[in-house]
Chain A
Amino acid sequence: MRGSGQSRRSFLKGGAALGTVAAIGINPRFIRPAHASGYAPGMTGGPTGFSGAERFQYNEGMSEGRAIEGIKRLVADGSAPSKLRILLTDGAIGQITEPFPSGTSVKEVWEAETGIELEIIGAPAGDIWARVLQDVTTRSGAFDIYTHPWNSLGDLVEAGGAAKLNDFVEAYQPDWADEERGTPTAQTAELLYKYGGDYYGASLDGDFHTWVYNKGYFEDDAHAADFRAQYGRDLAPPTTWEESDQISAFFTGRTGLGGTTIYGNGNDMAPFWGLPRFYARLAAQAMPNMYWFDDDGNPNLGTPEAVKAAEEYVKSREWAHPDALSWTFAEGYSGIGSGQTPHVTTYTNVAKFVDRFNDDGSPANPAAGMLSAYAPPGVQHDGGLVRRSVIYYNITGTVSSQAQNAEAAYLFLQWLSSTRTYSWMTGNPAGYFDPFQKANFEEPLVQETYHDYMMDAIRETVSRSVPTINFAGQTALDAALDEELQAALTGQKTAEQAMMDANRRWQRIIRRRGEDKMIPIIQASRAAWPTIVD
């Protein structure tokens, strides 16, 4: 050291000074002045550096700002963690880590404003619930925040894996149900954020399954003329399942883009991913709804309406791609994108992933520029037309009951899921968090990536969407129904037999979990169903 002109003592002293400078540099209290230079008047946080960034900025009076102020208080009293560990579906990571539209990312803004590092641990969408359960059952405490399907919320709460958020919600007032910017209805907020009357989750998705179709095919003169000749009506977006199936049957075997053979039913039918297609058919079979359970909590799967829905569902396989039983949502996207299928009901991000153009202006997929969307089909009853879709999967964030600091974890979730940050994030094409808040649909960046044609279709779908199962026992109930439907689809059982068996299995599951406990939960879940009739 002496030889280099620096003593050990002076070297250490220099290191200490450097450390002090670094510590000051990463302290959020010292970051703000530099970072704040791009804020709109009155705003104290949010992204900067791109046109329109001010729409996502906030101050202490707003939901995101309250979350940031809460974190600062935790930092000041020394209780804030140095990092938050988040278990996140692989396909959503990009929306948090990749800059959008340019300059800065959601993760960078959070870390700059709070000094708290986000450690994101990815897992495939189909596996993430198993990873959550693994952490809960082994008590390993590897994550502060879980993300998982909304359907699993009840099972997670019952397993003691999720922290109750009532006190935090009361203290920090998120804008989730804000009348102007939040969920479409107060009922939706109850559905997405609460379980058993208590706050447990923060919705990070809008998985209201929406119908997308190839408008180019529907408006093609030859297709239109043939369809009119065959069915005596115009080839137009269907309003009933009967019309929808006719369209599927009509297109099957016809020639599409690039000479490809069209399969009329574009819906994926794989285990787990195909289940919502059946639920949507079933829900429309009665006025105003065909509930999954009757008033007394008995399963409705053995009813003639459920058998009819199952028979139609199994029949629709005739018009699907031969590989549809192994298709997940991603293959469903590819099917409509390649022009192999004329319509599909799926997650709304199909529009942003499929209907896009490359930087050089060439279409990213053969069907790019040809897609449009419509409200869900239904069943015509004497009293009107019942059109129904479902909410299914819907990534939801929960604070782990083993979180090192539950309040800090909650504050991040509030910041991320509030309407300004969420609108910014959901427009980003790098992941699959979908729009569902009123503010999202008004946001130009969301409209650009999801396309104008989706905005009304999503809104109409949301208002007609029924909840799939999300109460305790959901994993077992869905698995039982799924297995029976797969047996029917593969010809091992008739649709009727499958539904009778599924009904019996549901009865057994409810009985095992305790009817006294389950029936009130089942009855309460019916309150969230829409009653709109067209």
Chain B
Amino acid sequence: MTGLILRTVVVALFAAIALLPISWMATMAFKPPAEWTSATAELTFLPKDPTWSNFVYVFTGEVEGQIVSLDRTVWWPLFASLLTSVIGTLIAVVAGTAAAYAVSREKVGGSIGLSLLQLRIFPPLAVMIPVMIMWAFLGMIDTWWGLSLIYGIVTLPFSFWLMKSYFDELPREIEEAAIVEGCTAFEAFYQITLPIVVSAVASTALFIFILNWSDYLIALLLTRKEWTTIPVYMNALATAASGQLYGAKAALGLIAAIPPIILGISIQRFLVQGLTFGALKQ
């Protein structure tokens, strides 16, 4: 009994620590400007005068009490984030799955796995300087395809290694049986193996989507204006009169949490299977 209480207390403590910044953001999203910082009033956890104005401001660019209207509303950065994250995820998952299958089953590619890992060995900033120069040379700065492509490239190692571990766990005999029954190698992969690992693909896709969706550094360096994503747009939410628009940033933070949550819920059925895929095979 004591152990149970202790465990509960520890779990509750860690949960509280993890949730504190999120809950602070959630309450900040509903605070008026006068309650954003300690420079205007004593800070409180809950808003004294709750308001929707921060949400109205980011979506319309104007709200009562702000003398400066926003140059850009959140609509386009939201679209840019969705588009580039989805395409980047597709690139990484499709290429990563195909590569992982080939390496796992056919033992081709030699040290390709380690080569892919190199993409994540260096600090991102060290890699991004030459990437910036290449992207500028190729005219891909501030384009949706340029950003999507780099997202696909930098998340490819995750996709490859995650999928490879799943394929390694899957008995080769299932595919061999399909081939004996008359399937080609591609048909065995597409019709037999892929449906089995779909839950693994789903969990990999979610993981990679979240990485792309929450990226700040790459989007900051490779976009200018047209294709800035939510995190970059959020950083720019400041006006001359109010400085950092903490309330609007918090509102945007809540909005930005919605797509990953929706995606997570919609593939929840696969997620549980995917996350326990390897364990079940043991």
Taking beta carbons and an 8 Å cutoff, which residues of A are in contact with B? 90-94, 97-98, 119-125, 127, 134, 137-142, 260, 321-323, 327-335, 337-338, 340, 349, 353, 356, 358, 429-432
Contact = CB atoms under 8 A, between A and B. Distances in A.
- Which of B37, B71, B72, B241 has the most chain A CB atoms closer than 10 A to its own CB? B241
A120 B142 CA distance: 14
B41 A431 contact: no
Contact of B71 (A122, A356, A429): A122
Given A93-B71, A122-B71, A331 B225 contact: no
Contact of B133 (A121, A122, A138, A432): A138
Interface in B112-158: 129, 132-133, 136, 141-142
A328 B244 CA distance: 9
Contacts of B266: none
B241 A338 contact: no
Count chain B CB atoms within 10 A of each CB in A92, A260, A323, A330 and give the residue with the most. Answer: A330
Interface in B68-90: 68-69, 71-72
A364 B129 CA distance: 45
A333 B243 contact: yes
Interface stretch (B15-23, B162-170, B187-195, B231-239): B231-239
A97 B240 CA distance: 14
B136 A321 contact: no
Given A122-B71, A142-B141, A340 B39 contact: yes
B269 interface: no
A338 B40 contact: yes
B265 interface: no
Q: Which of B41, B68, B69, B236 has the most CB of A within 10 A?
A: B68
B37 A331 contact: yes
Contacts of A139: 133, 136
Given A142-B141, A353-B240, A337 B132 contact: no
Nearest to A337: B40
Contact of B39 (A142, A338, A349): A338
Contacts of A260: 41
Contacts of A97: 71
Contacts of A125: 238
The 3 closest A-B pairs by CB, nearest first: A330-B243, A91-B240, A140-B136
Contacts of B238: 90-91, 124-125, 330
B67 interface: yes
Contacts of B72: 122
B37 A134 contact: no
Given A122-B71, A122-B236, A328-B243, A138 B39 contact: no
A119 B225 CA distance: 10
B41 A94 contact: no
29 contacts: A92-B240, A93-B71, A94-B69, A94-B71, A94-B239, A97-B71, A119-B225, A121-B225, A124-B235, A125-B238, A138-B141, A139-B136, A141-B136, A260-B41, A323-B38, A323-B39, A329-B243, A330-B39, A330-B242, A335-B39, A337-B40, A338-B40, A340-B40, A353-B240, A356-B67, A358-B65, A429-B67, A430-B69, A431-B240
Contacts of B211: none
A142 B41 CA distance: 41
A104 B37 CA distance: 35
A134 B132 contact: yes
Nearest to A268: B39
Contacts of B48: none
A62 B65 CA distance: 39
Given A94-B69, A94-B239, A138 B136 contact: yes
Contacts of A334: 37, 39-40, 243
B224 interface: yes
B221 interface: yes
Nearest to B130: A138
Contacts of B243: 328-331, 333-334
A350 to B, nearest CB: 10
Interface string B209-236: 0000000000001001100000000011
Nearest to B33: A334
Where chain B touches its partner, the secondary structure class is loop
B37 A140 contact: no
Contacts of A340: 39-40
Contacts of A119: 225
Contacts of A121: 224-225
Nearest to B240: A91
Contacts of B71: 90, 93-94, 97, 120, 122
Given A90-B238, A124-B236, A134-B132, A330 B244 contact: yes
B221 A134 contact: yes
A119 B38 CA distance: 36
Contacts of B242: 330
A139 B130 CA distance: 12
Nearest to A323: B38
Question: Which has the most chain B C-beta neighbours within 10 Å: A120, A122, A332, A432?
Answer: A122
Nearest to B38: A323
Given A140-B132, A327-B39, 8 more contacts: A90-B239, A91-B241, A94-B71, A119-B225, A124-B236, A139-B133, A331-B37, A358-B65
A125 B236 CA distance: 9
Contacts of B39: 321, 323, 327, 330-335, 338, 340
A104 to B, nearest CB: 16
A141 B133 CA distance: 11
A271 B38 CA distance: 18
Contacts of B67: 353, 356, 429-430
Given A122-B236, A123-B236, A134-B132, A353 B40 contact: no
Contacts of B225: 119, 121-122
Contacts of A353: 67, 240-241
Nearest to A429: B67
Nearest to B241: A353
A125 B242 CA distance: 13
Most buried by B among A137, A140, A349: A140
Interface string B56-70: 000000000101110
Given A90-B238, A140-B136, A431 B37 contact: no
Contact of A98 (B69, B141, B235): B69
B141 A140 contact: yes
A365 to B, nearest CB: 8
Nearest to A352: B241
A171 B241 CA distance: 38
A434 to B, nearest CB: 10
Contacts of A349: 240
Interface string B19-51: 000000000000000100111110000000000
A306 to B, nearest CB: 30
Contacts of B240: 90-92, 94, 349, 353, 430-432
B68 A431 contact: yes
Most buried by A among B37, B65, B72: B37
B244 A138 contact: no
